[in-house]
A and B are shown apart, each in its own frame.
Chain A
Amino acid sequence: MNIDDWKSQIKRGTLEFCILLLIKQRPTYGYEIISTLEKYPIIAAKENTIYPLLRRLLKEEFISSTWQESAEGLPPRKYYSITDKGLKYLSAMAVEWDNLLHTINELKGA
C-alpha cells in the first residue's frame, strides 16, 4: 500500500485550486504563498513547483502581477492578484469541488 503516491496525485490535482483561493483572499507574493502552503503538509510544495505554476496562471490570465519595490530592508516583491477571469474559473472549480465532496460522502454511505 503506497499512500504517498496517492497523496502526491491529490496535491498535483488541487494545488492550482489552493493557490487561486489563497490569492483571492488578498494580493500575495511567491514566498508568502509557499510559506502558507508549508503549514499544510497535504498541499505543501517546493519553489520549483509553485513558481512555474504561478507563471502558467499568469499566462492564462487567471492572475495578474505587479512588482512592489518595497520599503527599506525588504526585497522587492512580485504581488499576485486574482483577475475576473480567475474568479470565474475559481467559482467553476468550487462547484466541481463541492460536487466531489458530495459524491464521496454519498459513497461513504453517510
Chain B
Amino acid sequence: MEKILNQYLEKIETYLKPMAASERIDIVKEIKSEILELQGNGVSSEQIIERLGNPKELAKAYLGESISRSTGFSLRKLSAVIAFYSLAGACGMFVLPITSICGITFMASGILCPIAGIIKFAGHLIGYEIPEITIIIGSYTASAFTVLPLSILIGAILFVVGTLFWKLTIIMIKSMIKSRKKLNDNESAMQE
C-alpha cells in the first residue's frame, strides 16, 4: 500500500489510543479493507483520502459513538472523553475539561466524605478522637455522633452533583457529534 495511505491508517490508530487494543486493531483493519476495496475499483489514493475525510474527524466519530452509548462512568470512558476533547477544538479545550474534571472530583469527594465520617465515628467508639476529621458549618461544629449522618448526606449531595457534571459532559459531546454530522451532510449536499 502507498505511503500516504499507510500514514493515514497510522494517524487513525494514534487518535484511537484510548480504545481497547483489540477494538482499535479491528477498526484499523476494517478501514484498511475499505481502502483496498476502493483501490480495487480504481479510486486513486488522493480520492480515497478525500472520501474518508480528515483522520481526526473519523477517529472522533468512533470515539463519540462509543462515548454517547450511555451516560455511565468508567475509566476507559474517561480516557475516551479526554481523547475526544483533545480532538474537539475550542469547546473541547475549555468547557469539556472543566465539566469532566468537576464531575470526577465531585464523585470522588462524594465517596471520600462518608468514609471519613465512618472513620471518625469508629474512632470515637473505640476511644480515639480524630480532630483532623470534622464538619464545621458556620459557627456549628458537628459532634462525633452527628458527623456520621451528616457526612453521608453531604457525600450523597456531592456525588449527585458530580454525576450531573458527568452527564452534562456526555450531553455536550453528543450535541457536538450532531452538529458535526449536520456539517457533513451540508458538505455532501454542496458536493452534489
Contacts and interface: CB of A to CB of B under 8 A. Distances in A.
A48 B52 contact: yes
Given A31-B38, A55-B65, A56-B65, A49 B181 contact: yes
B61 A29 contact: no
A29 B32 CA distance: 13
B10 interface: no
Q: Is the interface of B mostly helix, strand, loop or mixed?
A: helix
Interface string A42-73: 00101111011101100110000001000001
A78 B26 CA distance: 9
A69 B119 CA distance: 60
Given A4-B186, A41-B192, A55-B27, A47 B33 contact: no
B103 interface: no
Interface residues of A, number: 30
B76 interface: no
A52 B27 CA distance: 9
Given A8-B181, A31-B34, A48 B57 contact: yes
Interface string B161-192: 00000000000000000100110111011001
Contact of B52 (A41, A47, A55): A47
B69 A56 contact: yes
Q: How large is the interface on B (under 10, 10 to 19, 20 to 34, 35 or more residues)?
A: 20 to 34
A27 interface: no
B15 to A, nearest CB: 12
A35 B69 CA distance: 26
A48 B36 contact: no
Most interface-central of B27, B52, B64, B65 (chain A CB within 10 A): B65
A30 B65 contact: no
Interface in A1-58: 4-5, 7-8, 11-12, 29-31, 34, 41, 44, 46-49, 51-53, 55-56
Given A30-B33, A74-B40, A75-B40, A49 B184 contact: yes
A48 B184 contact: yes
Nearest to B190: A4
B129 interface: no
Contacts of A41: 192
A78 B51 CA distance: 20
Given A31-B37, A75-B40, A55 B184 contact: no
Given A12-B181, A30-B34, A47-B52, 5 more contacts: A46-B51, A48-B52, A49-B181, A51-B27, A56-B65
27 contacts: A8-B182, A8-B186, A30-B33, A31-B38, A41-B192, A46-B53, A46-B184, A47-B31, A47-B34, A47-B52, A47-B53, A48-B52, A48-B57, A48-B61, A49-B184, A51-B27, A51-B31, A52-B62, A52-B64, A55-B27, A56-B66, A67-B29, A75-B36, A75-B40, A76-B29, A78-B26, A78-B30
